[in-house]
Chains A and B, each alone.
Chain A
Amino acid sequence: MNLRSNPRSNVISWTSRNRRPLLVAAIMAGLMLMPVPGPAHEGHAGPMVDFMAANDALKAMLPDGAHVTRRKEAIKAAGAAWAQSSLGVALDDGDIHTYLLARDKGTDRVLGAAMDKEFEYGHGDVKLAVGVDPAGKVTKAAVLGANEKYVDEIKKGIGSGFLTDLEGATIQDLSARSDAAYKAKNNAAGDVIGHIRDMAAALATLTHGLSA
């Protein structure tokens, strides 16, 4: 194997043994470059499978006839401290949350709040929604969707669509349910309920600030 057509030249003088790794590297490079784009952006978990529309879920989580606004608001340090002491949940202060706030049309009193969010789950995401009443109890919670790879796991572990078992649960109830799920080796339920707990705690904290 010779890199040059002129064997008398001393410009190229690698031995056959030393050239071999370079050839292998060149072939490897060619193979590696080919699949770079396409699948990379689709992730490893397949497309998102929607169980229900976020709009429908959020609507069911808030009281009928309320004046609804969409707010973007950060949890302040005082709010995070309140969540830790009153709810037993550690929330990051400074994180901006987007949520729907329902108020009484006449008195402007807070009637409830709801939000939906995506969380990383394995190599994909799971979409969740939760609503709370003024006392911070869950009105409804739902699994809105998951990446194809995890659909069976999520459905088997916790279910899909509205999670009726969680209606009326307090933040503390959710913490206990999440811990119990982990102990039972049901990580899907532990993760999902844990995220719902965090979302509910964020909503309770944000609405607590408005009511206070």
Chain B
Amino acid sequence: MEGTLEARPGRLQGLSPSWRVLVTGFLLVIGAGYLSGALNAALAVGLTPAAVADHYRDQTLSKAEEATFEKQGFVEEEFSFDEPADRPAAEPADHDHAGAHDAMAGHEHMEGMAEGGMEGMGGVKSITLQQLAQLSHIHLLGFSFILLTVGALACLTTLPEAFKVVLVAVLTLSLGADIGGLWLVRFVSDGYAWLSVVSGTAVGVCLLVTALRVLFEVWLSRPKEVSP
């Protein structure tokens, strides 16, 4: 096997102390990174499918407005220049959606409206194609290294090969689905919001399983004697 990169079980058990410290440090940092990402998502968007859908869906029409639009071909409501003056300027899409919910079919006065959205007086602006592309390219490039490093560590464990295949495959698909789900929510249907929530959780589970197993093999497990 000289000169090959074929993964063989037991490698982690025989690491030198410096490598053990490095691998442990990496797992701690990447674990903290995942939790930070989850916290950021919770604060900026929310962790439920409803919150993800609300944040990433096309905001041009609210749910209430969609019904009216479908029925009469447009939505119209009273507008006053005086009301919005005391309100904050346009914010990113995660701010108050009261306006959308209050903007009923008829002519109720709009509440919670902010200025200058992507569609102007729309209050809440939809995430744009460019913003989603930017979010995707940054995350996917990072994800590829998470996949490479965590996946490599998983492959080096003594877990059964079939289990490792499933683990790495789930990690791969989940990382892709986490971002793919956002595209589906924005451009297909907000019903796909569950995909990002489930896949994001699956990534965490894969990281946790890998980390626990790797730490076990690095620090607690002893390598089996190999016959000459």
Contact = CB atoms under 8 A, between A and B. Distances in A.
Contact of B8 (A11, A30, A127, A144): A11
Give 9 nearest A-B pairs by CB, closest first.
A36-B142, A73-B74, A54-B115, A116-B120, A4-B14, A29-B145, A40-B138, A70-B79, A98-B119
Nearest to A101: B76
Interface stretch (A13-21, A82-90, A158-166): A13-21
Contacts of B138: 36, 40
Question: What's the dominant secondary structure at chain B's contact region?
Answer: mixed
Select the residue from A29, A68, A101 with max chain B CB neighbours within 10 A: A29
B94 to A, nearest CB: 11
Contacts of B117: 98, 118
A11 B135 CA distance: 41
Nearest to B146: A33
Nearest to B129: A120
B14 A9 contact: yes
B149 A26 contact: yes
Interface stretch (B81-89, B161-169, B171-179, B202-210): B81-89
B219 interface: no
Interface of A: 2-6, 9-15, 18, 22, 25-26, 28-30, 32-33, 36-37, 40-41, 43, 50, 53-55, 58-59, 68-74, 96-101, 115-118, 120, 127, 129, 144-145
B33 interface: yes
B16 A2 contact: yes
Interface in B1-29: 1-5, 8-11, 14-17, 19, 22, 26, 29
A70 B110 contact: yes
Contacts of B37: 37
A11 B116 contact: no
Contact of B19 (A3, A50, A144): A3
Contacts of A120: 128, 130
B147 to A, nearest CB: 10
Interface centre among A6, A36, A101 (most CB of B within 10 A): A36
Given A70-B77, A71-B74, A32 B141 contact: yes
A95 B90 CA distance: 22
A73 B74 CA distance: 5
Interface string B45-89: 000000000000000110001000100011111111100110001
A9 B25 CA distance: 25
B226 A9 contact: yes
A208 to B, nearest CB: 14
A101 B120 CA distance: 13
Nearest to A128: B120
Nearest to B137: A40
Contacts of B60: 72, 96, 98
A10 B79 CA distance: 78
B64 to A, nearest CB: 12
Contacts of B139: 36, 40
30 contacts: A5-B17, A11-B10, A11-B11, A11-B14, A12-B8, A12-B11, A14-B4, A30-B26, A33-B33, A37-B36, A40-B138, A50-B89, A50-B116, A54-B121, A55-B84, A55-B85, A68-B78, A70-B76, A70-B121, A71-B74, A72-B69, A96-B60, A96-B119, A98-B121, A98-B122, A117-B118, A117-B119, A118-B125, A127-B116, A129-B120
Contacts of B141: 32
B40 interface: yes
